[in-house]
Amino acid sequence: MAIGTSPLGAITPGGVGQVPSAGGGVLIDPSRPNLPGWRWLTQGSTGPLAGFALAGGGAADRPAAGGLVAFPDADSGNVRIDTWWSGAPFLKIMRLVDGHDPMPVRAAFPLAVRTATRTNRCTTPSLEAGTTGWLAGPNSTMNAVTDPAAQAGTKIGRLTATAAGTVSTSVPVKLSLSAPMRIALGLRLSAAPTGNLSFTATWVDLFGVTSTTSVGIPAAALAGYVDSTLGRTPVLLLPLPTAAADGALTLSVDGMPAGGRVDLDAVMIEDVATDGSYFDGDVLHGAWQGTPHGSESTLAGVQQIVDLEAPLDVPLRYVMTAPDQPSFRIVSEPVVLASHRRLWLSHPSMTLPTLVNVEREPKITRPIVQVVMDVLGAPEPVVVSAARRGSPRGNYTIWTSDFDELGRLLAMLDDGSPLLLRMPAELGHGPGEWLALADIDIESLRGDALEDSVRKTGLPFVVCRPPAIPVAA
């Protein structure tokens, strides 16, 4: 499908050329609170997006971790977009401008997702909602307590020895049967144990035969966690058994004194290579896969794209979809790419637009194919015309101040591709014009190429269709 159609499914001309009205809660990137945020759209209501309604920022409205932050860069003539959506193989992003059909963003329709989505298999990783899934073993009690040193939220898990010896607790996790588990957590001990800290998986195969695998931290290495501020452990690799159908995970510490405490928080359990850094469904790019603080969570990788064709001086939004969740879309809050009375020329396959100095508004011609025929005996001729006049055409003159500037211009013109000229909105050229450029003329300012580096380049043009964008169905 070529650009200029309506590849966004339900979005069609007539209901489309309107920016969605405000509604629901705006989601904001807390690391960049001064930037515009985004909203979720859900299927089911009528509105400017033909069946999609703004759902706001509530967690119940979000099917996965997803977001889109757009921020204009007036000095570069583009809009940069940070985007993420957990588990999506690719994304599709379109630009919305009032009064115009939605347009696919070049290089982002589709946008292949190249950053992996991480999954935390621990279902109660920060104990913010209590100790669900954590079951204290013999000689042990397990509680969730408020602690200012918590690495995630405000609470930690506290495992306490009722007598000297081993303390233990089950760990709420669905163990992978296809890859070793990687475990990391925040840890603090009230006293140095005489034994090791261990994670032990008990596996049961299809015949009911049990086996165990384990990984841990030796006693000598645990001294650094005594009375600390919940130090982060290294990533521990829990091996898989030779054969298993199911498994359960236990955390134990040997040789604790009576009343000794094992504090833990921000538990990460993954089945892929990881640095052990913590996340759950409460972080910006994260999402709970079920009940908050009671299910696995995911973290989507962030990708950055650049819209090199954004119109100047007008409000615009971006709409993002993912093929695996067609009932949900994300729409950014409006941003404006200020022109500061500058003009930008863009090539469809080059990564940066170029500032240009246009001499003046050109004289515009709108030709028409027409035949005027005199009829014998009739006082007036008969006119036969084409259905419409042809596209505007004329001649722009662009000034370059030095040979570097001229070289950048000539590089854009070299392959004969149509170029996009964007002007300040007040000049009345809409979101920009794609120009088919014929033979060009280059002149020295004073006709003396040896002493003068200023050049003017004549660009005979015809306004044309944008180059096609290969789009996903």
Q: Which of 48, 50, 63 is closest to 288 using CA atoms?
A: 63
What's the CA dihedral at 51, 52, 53, 59 to 10 degrees?
Answer: 140
Question: Phi-psi region for residue 259, left (φ > 0), alpha (ψ -120 to 50) or beta?
Answer: left
Let me know: does 175 contact 181? Beta carbons within 8 Å: yes
CATH at 188: 2.60.120.260
pLDDT at res. 77: 95
Residue 31 has pLDDT above 80, yes or no: no
pLDDT tens-digit series, residues 242-274: 877 788 999 999 999 999 999 999 999 999 999
- Pair 351, 325 in one domain: no
Q: pTM for this one?
A: 0.77
In a domain, 44, yes or no: yes
3-state secondary structure (DSSP) of residue 235: coil
Residue 150 lies in a domain: yes
**Last residue of one domain, picked from the residues 292, 316, 336:** 336
Overall number of domains in the chain: 3
Judge residue 421's burial from the number of C-beta atoms within 10 Å of its C-beta, 0-12 exposed, 13-18 middle, 19 or more buried. Answer: buried
Q: What pLDDT, in 10s, does the model give residues 184-213?
A: 999 999 999 999 999 999 999 888 889 999
- Domain enclosing residue 458, as ranges: 343-463
200 & 236 share domain = yes
d(CA 122, CA 115): 22
Q: How far is CA 129 from CA 145, 263, 451, in A?
A: 11, 16, 77
Same domain for 328 and 208: no
Tell me: pLDDT of 48 over 50.
no
What CATH number is associated with residue 372?
2.40.30
Q: What is the pLDDT of residue 470?
A: 64
Q: Is residue 350 located within the same domain as residue 231?
A: no
Residue 122 lies in a domain: no
Does residue 14 carry a pLDDT above 50? no
Does any domain span residue 13? no
Kindly report the CATH number assigned to the domain that includes residue 321. Answer: 2.60.40.10
- 159 burial via Cβ count (<10 Å: 0-12, 13-18, 19+): buried
Q: Report whether 433 contacts 420 (CB < 8 A).
A: yes
Q: Look up residue 356 and give its two tokens.
A: 């240009």
Task: State phi, psi for 308 to the nearest 5 degrees.
Answer: -85, 0
Q: Are residues 251 and 317 in the same domain?
A: no
